[in-house]
A and B are shown apart, each in its own frame.
Chain A
Amino acid sequence: MTLALGSGALGWVSVAALAALGLLGAVAVAWPLLASGDADELAGREEAPEHVRAREDLSRSLTALREIAFDHACGNLSDEDFSRLDTTERATAVRLMRQIDAFDAKTGEAA
């Protein structure tokens, strides 16, 4: 550590080493561009926004159902409240599942 890397030949050796590293970095960065094949499309979701929204709503609905059941088991919800909330949420979940099935069927036909 007591070597004065900034002065004399050793300093320039270290800078040359860094230049070599820089060159290596440039090659590594450029390599995927040089080696890219035919399948170069960036992966992404092809779903329509309303399809994505329905899936998210279903996920929320299922989470809510789990939470309602657990809160009822803990005694945080009365039987009456549980029955009301559970029925509403189940109906929402079923509606969303049907909607997603319809989307999936449409996507399948298009494919």
Chain B
Amino acid sequence: MAIFGRSALLLAFVAAAVGICLALGAHSRRSRSWQASAERAVYATFAFTTLAVGTLWAGLLGDHFELRNVADYSNRALPTRFKFSALWGSQAGSLLLWCWILSIFAALAVWLNRRRNRELMPIVVAILMGVAIFFTGVLSFVTSPFETLASTPADGTGLNPLLQNPYMVIHPPLLYLGYVGLSVPFAFAMAALVTRRVDTQWIVAVRRWTILSWLFLGSGILLGSRWAYEELGWGGYWAWDPVENAALMPWLVATAFLHSVMVQERRGMLKVWNMSLVTLTFSLSLFGTFLTRSGLLSSIHAFGQSTLGPYFLGLIIVVAGGAIGLIISRLSSLRSEHGLESFVSREGIFLFNNLLLVGLAAIVFFGTMYPVFTEATVNRKIAVGPSYFEQLAVPIGVALLILTGVGPLVAWRKASLAQLRRRFVAPLVVAVVGGALLILTPAWDHWVAGLVFTAGIFVVACVTGEFIRGTQTRHRLGGVSWPGALIQLVSRNRRRFGGYIVHLGVVLVFVALAGSKSFAKETDLALLPGESADAIGYTFVNECLPAGVTPPAGQPNPCPRVSNANERSVVLRLGVFKDGKRVVTLTPGRRIYVVSQQPSTEVGLSSTPARDYYAVLNEMIPGKAAKLSVFINPLVMWLWLSGLLIVFGGLVAAWPTRRATRLARAAEPSGTQVA
């Protein structure tokens, strides 16, 4: 099995190397047959990487403990779904996943562009295969997922308990889909520079790739937060941890890129800026993998550290250095076709939004890397706390939220005062009235939260106003029913209205963040069975039976202890009461995994639209008071729901229109394929 896996990876490496040579040959000779061969090498890279991944999965599912990766990250008692996800539990396995997704995307990019963008494709293939060579090379010659042990153990040591969570089955692949997906826009951008086709062709080619990669990355971040919330048991979902920040940075820059490409498409401006953003986005996605894998900074999310750092650093330098050199060499072709006529214009707002997003990414980068900088200068790692990030991120975030509403309503080129009045009076009135009504609630107890809620009302008023006016017009002009008019409105301009739906999701994110950060309450309790305590506005009751007391016949033990081959666990039943009425029953627990003897916290969680009730069992020894931490976290549910809305809006925006498909087909030159 090890030989098979290693050979498959080696073949993938050779196929990628051959692909690069053929693609560069196709570019220099302008040869269709060379390009056809290069594209077949891409498919071969995909096939051999898939074989390698399949082999490792077979090893994990078949308990082949002669493989170090299986012995170290799995065991016989591990549930099948976690044996499946153990592939990305290890460093080599997660790099194999990266490489596999890259090979899938490269094959998909080649297939989707088999009849279009032909002059860009040789360089696109060369760049994607260049990245594939790096990963297959590292996996073949530096850290192999198919390393074998001198003697085969009877059982493995098992997967890290923190990774035995359903979110860990889906979170890393989503994150990697986002990271790797951003390599395709980068490859097209570089191809446009090399071929001097710096018009909007490459932007049209990568629009959907960018939106989908952005969605994958965003969903991965959100699911990672959900995992941290449920699994780490500290009461929160975001700690400004280096690995969290590593995923946030490319997402922020990709968000800026998604907006600035519209300026290039509509006004032929910001060409250098767009090239720089796409380079920065991909470099940051490599940096994210580097940060997770290098051991440079300690993180609650890093589960395998190694000496791969220098290799990744080398790749980042090659990618960023090469791209910067190419951009500089093409500066004359990248001149803007039009100037900025007014700052009060859509492009002006987008520029401001871009500066804020990139500025925020820079702040996150500086804060994340601060321990590295201090170690280099004062020989001591000094980390900045969450307060650094929050103090700087909050004002930028509020400004971005307001721009989310303002941007779509301001006209391109130059907005007149009359236009601004016409479009902003109603949303401003709604926001002022809404903000005033919030005085009736505790919202303004924290002025930042009050400001965010009011800004959220403003954005919702702006966006719903667009939907209402658009639907009314379609209804009037098209003579269709109201629902029909709404569907027609969205389907005829999916990108615009899909974007508006995403903006509504962004409002929910801000509302959830403001609510949960400003109004969270927490307390520590020590309760004997049957004992109660009043704290943070609630009464908490330990509803376990005292030691030696058995439950009445036919009734289950309220606090069962479980012991099986994989784990030993204990659960506490905590009744939460308000004004004498039961609000919710929580069942926090603790679990010890038998093989690794590692303890794990099982959060007791009940979510409602208004607040989450969240309890963590810190200690439960028979005969002693159980020690608990209890949190009341308002509005957290809306953070997870916002993800659904953003994904829906993103899919609407990325969905191809019939007109776009027709135009793409019309643009296909005939006879571009070699049989």
Mark A residues whose CB is within 8 Å of B. Answer: 1-2, 4-6, 11, 14-15, 18-19, 21-22, 25, 28-33, 35-36, 39-45, 49, 52-53, 56-57, 60, 63-64, 67, 70-71, 73-78, 80-81, 85
Knowing A35-B33, A36-B33, the reply to whether A6 touches B66 (Cβ < 8 A) is: yes
Which of A2, A15, A42, A74 contacts B31, CB < 8 Å? Answer: A42
Which of B15, B22, B66, B469 contacts A74, CB < 8 Å? Answer: B469
State whether A78 touches B671 (Cβ < 8 A): no
State whether B4 touches A32 (Cβ < 8 A): no
Binds A, one of B264-272, B453-461, B601-609: B264-272
Specify the chain A residue showing the minimal Cβ separation from B267. Answer: A60
| 17 more A-B residue pairs beyond the given contacts A21-B11, A29-B44, A36-B31, with a C-beta to C-beta distance below 8 A | A4-B64, A5-B4, A15-B4, A25-B47, A30-B37, A32-B36, A32-B37, A40-B31, A42-B31, A44-B119, A49-B199, A49-B333, A53-B199, A53-B268, A67-B412, A70-B470, A77-B411
A33 to chain B, nearest CB (A): 5
Q: Top 8 A-B pairs ranked by shortest CB distance?
A: A36-B33, A44-B119, A1-B62, A32-B36, A74-B469, A6-B1, A43-B672, A5-B1
State whether A42 touches B26 (Cβ < 8 A): yes
State whether A29 touches B4 (Cβ < 8 A): no
**B8 close to chain A: CB less than 8 A:** yes
- Main DSSP-derived SS at the A contact region: helix
State whether B7 touches A15 (Cβ < 8 A): yes
- Main DSSP-derived SS at the B contact region: helix
CA distance A53 to B337 in the complex (A): 9
Give the chain B neighbours of A25 by CB distance below 8 A.
11, 15, 44, 47-48
State whether A29 touches B418 (Cβ < 8 A): no
B382-415 interface code vs A (CB 8 A; 1 in, 0 out)? 0000000000000000000000000001011000
Give the chain B neighbours of A74 by CB distance below 8 A.
469-470, 472-473
Give the chain B neighbours of A73 by CB distance below 8 A.
473, 476-477
A95 to chain B, nearest CB (A): 14
State whether A70 touches B66 (Cβ < 8 A): no
CA distance A78 to B607 in the complex (A): 48
- Taking residues whose C-beta sits less than 8 angstroms from the other chain, chain B's interface range is 35 or more
CA distance A39 to B669 in the complex (A): 14
Knowing A4-B1, A6-B66, A32-B40, the reply to whether A81 touches B265 (Cβ < 8 A) is: no
B417-446 interface code vs A (CB 8 A; 1 in, 0 out)? 011001100000000000000000000000
CA distance A32 to B672 in the complex (A): 13
Number of A-B contacts (CB under 8 A): 147
Give the chain A neighbours of B118 by CB distance below 8 A.
42-44
**B237 close to chain A: CB less than 8 A:** no
CA distance A64 to B267 in the complex (A): 10
Give the chain A neighbours of B36 by CB distance below 8 A.
32
State whether B37 touches A43 (Cβ < 8 A): no
Which of A11, A63, A78 contacts B418, CB < 8 Å? Answer: A78
CA distance A28 to B472 in the complex (A): 57
State whether B32 touches A36 (Cβ < 8 A): yes
**B200 close to chain A: CB less than 8 A:** yes
A40 to chain B, nearest CB (A): 5
Which of B11, B47, B119 contacts A42, CB < 8 Å? Answer: B119
State whether A35 touches B674 (Cβ < 8 A): yes
CA distance A43 to B47 in the complex (A): 27
State whether B268 touches A56 (Cβ < 8 A): yes
Give the chain A neighbours of B18 by CB distance below 8 A.
29
**B193 close to chain A: CB less than 8 A:** no
Specify the chain B residue showing the minimal Cβ separation from A25. Answer: B44
State whether B26 touches A76 (Cβ < 8 A): no
CA distance A21 to B356 in the complex (A): 51
State whether A14 touches B37 (Cβ < 8 A): no
State whether A28 touches B26 (Cβ < 8 A): no
B543-580 interface code vs A (CB 8 A; 1 in, 0 out)? 00000000000000000000000000000000000000
CA distance A14 to B422 in the complex (A): 72
CA distance A66 to B589 in the complex (A): 60
B37 to chain A, nearest CB (A): 5
